[in-house]
Amino acid sequence: MMARRAAVLLPPWLWLLFLVAAPVAVLLAIALAAPGDGVPPVSPPFRWEGGRPVWQGGEALEVLREEGWHLAAFLRSFRTAILTALACLLLAYPMALGIARARPERRTLLLALVLLPFWTGFLPRVGAWIGLLRDGGWVNGVLMGLGLVESPVPLLYTDGALLLGMVHAYLPFAVLPLVAALTRLDPSLEEAAADLGASPAAAFRTVVLPLTLPGAAAGFLLVFIPAMGEVVIPELLGPPEARLVGRVLWEEFFRNRDWPLAAAVAVLLLLVLIPPIRLFQRLEAR
């Protein structure tokens, strides 16, 4: 019995220690290390001088504190992620309501329609927005055809395009927990409110909305957490000067080859995300 247990536990334990725990430990170590000229371009945080270790690391943390634009990137990411998550909730709520109130045999099909876009390739979907939004693109063509604008308006590489792409990519994440919350809801509660004279809107506001709030919070966090670190959509749809955390990390690493700084940005992102992650796990455990 014990031997069988160990045989089941050992492979995943080893895998998780080597490929989840160890990488995070290395990340922390390199965030404290000093930049160097070698391959890899880091030097240990201690230097030996006259037989005594001398601290030389921690430079990346100093840079983060002194150069405001890294922190500005965090603020900008935070704003973008909040806006994305709110927009997703706003769109997802009526969608989830529609699915939860469909006949049960149609629910699976409707849910599949929400989820299937996930399986159609993330990059081709973002690519479609590039083609649709560009100056001579499809959307501008329609706008001009309708006589709404006279010359093409710049749509691509704007904050609007960034938000549109983010909401499009993350919307299904917000729908799922809301559908789960709404289908769990006892319909007789709403009927009771109606019997007591509440209008449908009032019953929704006072009964359905408060009871599905945890589901809404889970949906919000499920969008917010990955949106904070998103790197591909801002790169392809957003304005070139918009520096978001993911992009800053990417550029410090690949372009400037400043590994300690990139690692420090990653560690800071991790710290910022721990409270929402804990909150999400608590909501899930309910």
Partner 1 sequence: MKAGRRFSSGRWGLALGLGFLWAPILLLAVYAFSADRIPFQWGGFSLRWFRSLAANERMLEAAWLSVRVAAGAATLAVLLGGMAGWALARFGRFRGRALFGALAGAPLVLPEVVTGLSLLLLFVSAQAALEAFFGWQADRGAFTVLLAHATLGLAYAAVLVQARLATLDRSLEEAAADLGAGPFTVFRTVTLPLIAPALAAAWLLAFTLSLDDVVLASFVSGPAGTTLPMLVFSALRVGVTPEVNAIGVLFLLLAGLAAAGWWALLGRHAGRAPGA
**Binding to partner 1 in span 103-142, by CB under 8 A:** 110, 112-114, 116-132, 134, 136-138
201 binds partner 1 (CB under 8 A): yes
Out of 3, 11, 48, 50, point to the residue binding partner 1 (CB under 8 A): 11
Which secondary-structure segment (H or E) carries 47?
A: strand 46-49
Out of 166, 175, 181, 217, point to the residue binding partner 1 (CB under 8 A): 175
Length of the chain (residues): 286
Provide the 3-class DSSP secondary structure of residue 211: helix
Select 52 or 96, whichever has its Cβ closest to partner 1.
Answer: 96
Q: Which long-range contacts (CB under 8 A, 24 or more apart) does 103-107 make?
A: 107/183
- Give the Cα separation of 124 and 76 in Å (integer): 26
Please list the alpha-helical segments (H only) found in 33-137: 59-66, 68-100, 104-115, 122-133
CB of 167 vs partner 1, minimal distance in Å = 8
Binders of partner 1 among residues 35 to 74 (CB under 8 A) are 40
CB of 84 vs partner 1, minimal distance in Å = 14
189 binds partner 1 (CB under 8 A): no
How big is the site for partner 1, counted in residues (CB under 8 A)? Answer: 93
Binders of partner 1 among residues 217 to 276 (CB under 8 A) are 225-226, 228-232, 235-236, 245-246, 249-250, 253, 259, 262-263, 266, 269-270, 273
Select 59 or 235, whichever has its Cβ closest to partner 1.
Answer: 235
Out of 172, 215, 219, 238, point to the residue binding partner 1 (CB under 8 A): 172
- Sign of the alpha-carbon torsion through 129, 135, 141, 147: positive
Are 55 and 49 spatial neighbours (Cβ–Cβ below 8 Å)?
no
CB of 185 vs partner 1, minimal distance in Å = 11
The CA-based dihedral angle spanning residues 198, 203, 206, 210, taken in that order and rounded to the nearest 10 degrees: 160
186 binds partner 1 (CB under 8 A): no
Place of tokens 């929402």: 276
CB of 160 vs partner 1, minimal distance in Å = 14
CA angle 113–114–118, rounded 5-degree value? 100
